[in-house]
Chains A and B, each alone.
Chain A
Amino acid sequence: MRGLRGMLLGLMVSVGAVAGAKAQTVEIEYWQYVFDARVKAMNELIKRFEAANPNIKVKQTTFPYADYQTKIAAAMPAGQGPDVVQLFYGWLDNFVGAKFIQPLPRDAFPPAAIEKEFYPIVSAMKRDGEYYALPTAVRSLALFYNKKLFQEAGLDPNTPPKTVDELLDFAKKTTKRDGAGNMLSAGITLDFPGQDYHWWRETLLRQNGGAPYSDDNKKVTYDSEAGAKSLNWYADLQRVHKVGQVGFMDEGQAAFRAGRAAMTIDGSFRLGAFGGIKAFEWGVAELPASADGKKANFASYWVNGITTKPTGEKLEAAKKFLAFVTTPEAMQLWLETVGELPARKAAAETEKNLNHPIYGPFLKALNYSYATVFVDEMAQRQVSLDMLNRVLLQNQDAKAALAEAAKAEQPILDRFYKK
């Protein structure tokens, strides 16, 4: 017994000695999920940060996306885990509620400056006047179009549709069918579980004068005239005009990549995948406006926040690190490595970026984008998906489908905000 105690004591002394020797350098831990380009970009940022701050060491730990939230939830209550953590913007309420992250210290991140310098969608990170996290990069949606199919249909390959009416017209012209009427190539992909459900909710619905949720996000408001109009317009692409078909080529992006769809709506994160297309040239355009010129887009982003773990000099180091990864310099690096757009207006809207044929349309969209506040993204997506399926597979009336969806989604919101 005494042997054991002696050993423990020795161990403690030596640990203390090591810690004492390292007292000058502070080590903080950073967590994010595994996505090659992001990990690479972060490694580069850490290298530059450590060069500028030789007394701070940053340790990056990554987990597969599927385990990521679980790992954080398991580590934090045990006093383990990161000092600076990356999270999806939709998880914020859960993280704040569980006391995983603390409000950003006002001295280093004054709210007024954040509001002036970042895109307005970042306001989704504000709770009771305090910002809890900041993004390095943001993503928005755009229309990808196949120039070769445009040309074959007699359309100008450099003039993408500007309004939803033009979009329908172009889609009709580019759809190809065989003698029996089977679709061979789609005018536009219909992939609701892909990005289309964002397109419907934040773009089409708003263009028709509706809004998906109340301003405080606690009430579903898409069960409206505008909702029915926009849902019918979307469903008619398959039901009436037959310019697209849900499930054609399995997925929208697969159809586009195979050259079997003239247009598809997808996010900036798809640029990497579409970059490998060799068989045809493609272009990017802003999402078509409504007939009266109304534009809307959906933006989403990952943010970095400071956890409740660090105090004292670790907190100071965490503040410095978070400030560093949200500098314009870091954002430009992120754009070039990952393909995601800078979250600061000034860093994003440089002459070079705005005129970039691919980044340009995504960047312009950030000025009129909405970031949906999800409380349970998966469950809420399922509700929208079921709604469209009832319309397309069971011929349910759009109004009834919306009412049923609202009835299913409201309890999800209620359960969350009741807590």
Chain B
Amino acid sequence: MNASLSRVDARSGARLFSGLGMRQKQVLWAWSFLAVPVLFYAVVRFYPTLEAFWISTTNWNLLTKPSFVGLANFKRLLADPVFWKVFGNTALYLLLGTPISLLLAFTIAYHLDRVRFLHGFIRALYFLPFLTTAAAMAWVWRWFYQPVPIGLFNNLLAWLGIAQQPFLRSTTQSLPAVLAPAIWAGLGFQVVIFMAGLRAIPNTYYEAARIDGVSNGTILRRITLPLLKPTIVFLVVFSSIGFLRIFDQVYNMTSQTSSDPGGPLNATKPLVLMIYQTAFSSFDMGYAAAQTVVLFLVLLVVSLLQLRLLKDR
């Protein structure tokens, strides 16, 4: 009975479909294909995002029913010294990480572009860290930073007769110490993108410039950099978001089995790590959601600013 009914439905459906115009059919097809990712995004991305806004106004701790507390979580956030410390750290990761990595990547790409000898091999070497698992890499670097007798860097310093450095055990050195492998890991990717950008600049410009007897510096400033702008903008956006969301390097380099993630004294803690701890160690979901909303706003502002930059062209 049911089966025959649905067969009737199918038949009338087919008639309905054939009654549509070409354009309407195309739209229908497009939407039926789009339905899967749209549904996926709605359920997996957009719904939780909206839910996070709601949770940020509750005191939900996973165990009890959430109750509405208004903006109390945000007030607590503004008064929390750890939050401001962490906010500053996140900004430092961004403001140090992005320019340093881009400058390094460009310098390497610019010179590597001229190297013919073993070109592919050298490029592969630069790209290799990008393929490594962040956790594995962070652990190796963490051991590099250990004191004598197991730390590579400190053994080297001791051999040179220089005093040991605390690196990860210092409130001032630990953030750069964590940032270094993060930059190193992303370098390969940026070098490859820069080189693709450099290759895309037509040779005729350079030839014309040389015929006119223009110096290398001027070529770089007047031809290479302006024509490389789309690449630069892409990499700036890409790596800024990366540094704003830095997590695995910090977590793996600073947490011990019985953990001080983001330490010592929160010197290396980024916002994402604070959110993670608030949510999944303290189970303070409302407060964690409030932090997430702040991170969302920061990412939004940074992205909008950079979109603006793109439009300038």
- Give me the interface of A with B, judged by CB distance under 8 Å: 1-4, 66, 69-70, 73, 94-95, 97-98, 100, 178, 180, 182-184, 193-194, 245-251, 260, 376, 378-379, 382, 385-386, 389-390, 393-394, 419
Contacts and interface: CB of A to CB of B under 8 A. Distances in A.
Given A1-B2, A247-B169, A250-B142, 16 more contacts: A2-B2, A73-B62, A73-B63, A73-B283, A94-B61, A180-B158, A183-B147, A194-B256, A194-B258, A249-B146, A378-B282, A382-B260, A386-B264, A386-B266, A389-B263, A389-B265
Contacts of B281: 378-379
Main secondary structure of the interface of B (DSSP, over half): loop
B268 to A, nearest CB: 12
Contacts of A182: 147-149, 158, 164
Interface string B145-159: 011111000000010
A403 to B, nearest CB: 15
B168 interface: yes
Contacts of B260: 193, 382, 385, 389
Interface in B225-278: 256-260, 263-266, 277
7 contacts: A3-B1, A180-B158, A182-B147, A193-B258, A246-B169, A247-B169, A393-B170
Nearest to B2: A3
A183 B148 contact: yes
Nearest to A1: B2
Contacts of A73: 62-63, 283
Contacts of B283: 69, 73
Interface string B103-128: 00000000000000000000000000
Nearest to B164: A182
Contacts of A94: 61, 63
Contacts of A100: 63
Contacts of B148: 178, 182-184
A227 B142 CA distance: 33
Interface size class, chain B: 35 or more
B143 interface: yes
Interface of B: 1-2, 61-64, 142-143, 146-150, 158, 161, 164, 166, 168-171, 256-260, 263-266, 277, 280-283
Contact of B149 (A4, A184, A390): A184
A180 B170 CA distance: 21
B146 to A, nearest CB: 6
A249 B257 CA distance: 13
Contacts, number: 88
A100 B62 CA distance: 12
Given A178-B148, A182-B148, A247 B168 contact: yes
Contacts of B263: 385-386, 389
* Leading 7 A-B pairs by shortest Cβ distance: A98-B63, A378-B281, A182-B148, A389-B264, A3-B2, A73-B62, A193-B258
A393 B282 contact: no
A390 to B, nearest CB: 7
A330 B276 CA distance: 38
Contacts of A69: 62, 283
A123 B147 CA distance: 43
B64 A98 contact: yes
A97 B146 contact: no
A97 B62 CA distance: 12
Contacts of B168: 247
Contacts of B257: 194, 251
Given A100-B63, A393-B265, A193 B259 contact: yes
A379 B260 CA distance: 10
Nearest to B142: A250
